[in-house]
Amino acid sequence: MNKIIKAIAFLIITVVLLSACGPNRTQKDIDQALKSDESKTKPDQLTMWVDGDKQIAFYKKITAAYTKKTGIKVKLVNVGQNDQLENISLDAPAGKGPDLFFLAHDNTGSAYLQGLAAELKFSDKELQGFNKDALRALNYDNKQLALPSIVETTALFYNKKYLKEAPQTLKEVEANAEKYTNHEKKQYGFLFDAKNFYFNYPFLFNNDDYIFKKNGDKYDVNKLGLNSKDVVKNGERLQQWYKKGYLPKAATHDVMIGLFKDGKVGQFVTGPWNLNEYQEVLGKDLGVTTLPTDHGEKMKPFLGVRGWYLSEYSKSKYWAKDLMLYITSKDTLQKYTNEMSEITGRTDVKSSNPNLKVFEEQAKNAEPMPNIPEMQQVWEPMGNASIFISNGKNPKESLDEATEDIRQNIEILHPEDK
């Protein structure tokens, strides 16, 4: 019942947000906006909402070069990535929003449906060099709504003190878990945050499995694959890892990071976020490799994409798009990966860090998280199912219940489909 109440609350908030913040324009306003979209009149200033102090410091240098090139000043405003969608829905209609804003790709559908993200048109030449999956993640209803700046995924870290060579198969990973796990020494052969759907996705889903069935480029939200035969079977395997003591029930992801840094973990599946710390602490003992094969197929983790969106309310769309292309160019993103130690949305940008290169390679074999609003209904039920599995509940029952919760929540969001 709590799930239904939460879904109703989400629906109410969404309806209020759409009605309060979506474009409410006359045909005359629309015609004028379309005409001004291609206006080449230079503005005095463009505004970017930037995520955090590190990005502010980086883009201050980049936009200074853009100003020197074009004469257009760029105002950088520090707004947290997770706050930008809500803030722009309030600020943009009042004329206080940015020209460019920065979001994770799973907000793409919401940004478009609220009338906040402008549809973009690019030539084939302008899109050369971008990761195609990353571009697709920022496309909604066949409309390109952003350009990718950063991509994220998970890979397998390992400690060479335990493993001389990177494991190639999941069977090898399991064998290492058995060999090196020693609870008395608080030592683990294999760790990942198995109660978090983001991290356990590649261990539950084979390559042919799906969250929402896809018809072409569109997701069918009425066809769920979260409790398929394969996912249930992999859920049973996950539960066995708990029973065998490979995975601790109480440890959080932060605790696991600490254990890995302390040299207490042989293999650890996570993202590149703490890579610099691992390199400093573990030195030559640090190894990084792509996820292993499972049943002869390469495992595919989630691909997260963060990108730059052009506000529908921007009064200088031509030049805002020009700035977007500038800050996502090969030259700019090469500087970004060198300075920020993150992988970018371009395949023609290469990191000089061999450990980061592994994530660039893994990103080529990763599954973009669905960017539709209905995906927000998936995280909590699947997280709960993962917790239930860790506590010994039947995996099929856990996944069936999660699927039913998600189905009910989506039905509440789309009562017209009943």
Q: Which residue range is the domain that position 307 belongs to?
A: 2-152+303-368
Tell which residue, 298, 304, 289, 271, has the closest CA to residue 192. 271
- The domain spanning residue 312 has which CATH number? 3.40.190.10
pLDDT of residue 95: 87
Report the pLDDT value the prediction gives residue 262, as an integer from 0 to 100. 97
Tens-place pLDDT, residues 79-88:
999 999 999 9
Q: Are residues 253 and 174 in the same domain?
A: yes
Average pLDDT of the segment spanning 81-110: 93
Q: How confident is the model at residue 416, as a pLDDT? A: 66
| Claim to verify: residue 143 and residue 11 sit in the same structural domain | yes
Residues 162, 276 share a domain: yes
| Alpha helix positions (H), 181-219 | 197-204
Closest CA to 152 of 2, 414, 337, 328: 337
Statement to judge: residues 309 and 283 lie in one domain: no
Q: Cα angle at 4 between 230 and 87, to 5 degrees?
A: 95
DSSP code per residue over 140-153: ETTEE-EEEEEEE-
Burial profile 193-207: b = 16 or more Cβ within 10 angstroms, e = fewer: bbbbbbbbbbbbbbe
User: Do 246 and 384 lie in a common domain?
Assistant: yes
Does residue 191 share a domain with residue 231?
yes
Tell me the percentage of the chain whose pLDDT exceeds 70: 90
Q: What's this model's pTM, rounded to 2 decimal places?
A: 0.85
The pLDDT tens digits for 1-33 are 343 333 333 344 344 444 444 444 444 544 455
Domain edge (last residue) among 347, 368, 389: 368
Q: Per residue in 287-321, is it b (16+ CB within 10 Å) or e — as a string? A: bbbbbbebeeeebbbbbbbbbbbbbbbbbbbebbb
Q: Tally the domains of the chain.
A: 2
Q: How far apart are CA 400 and CA 46, in angstroms?
A: 49
* Whether residues 329 and 185 fall in one domain: no
Could you tell me how far CA 154 lies from the centroid of its own chain? 11
What pLDDT, in 10s, does the model give residues 163-207? Answer: 999 999 999 999 999 999 999 999 999 999 999 999 999 999 999
Q: Can you give the pLDDT at residue 217? A: 81
178 and 167: one domain? yes
Q: Give the DSSP letter of residue 265.
A: B
159 in the same domain as 148: no
pLDDT, average across residues 336-352:
94
Residues 338 and 298 in one domain: no
Same domain, 200 and 275: yes
pLDDT at 3: 37
Same domain, 31 and 68: yes
Which pair of structure tokens corresponds to residue 287?
């190894």
Alpha carbons 185 and 384: distance in angstroms, whole number = 30
Angle at 62 between CA 339 and CA 364, to 5 degrees: 50
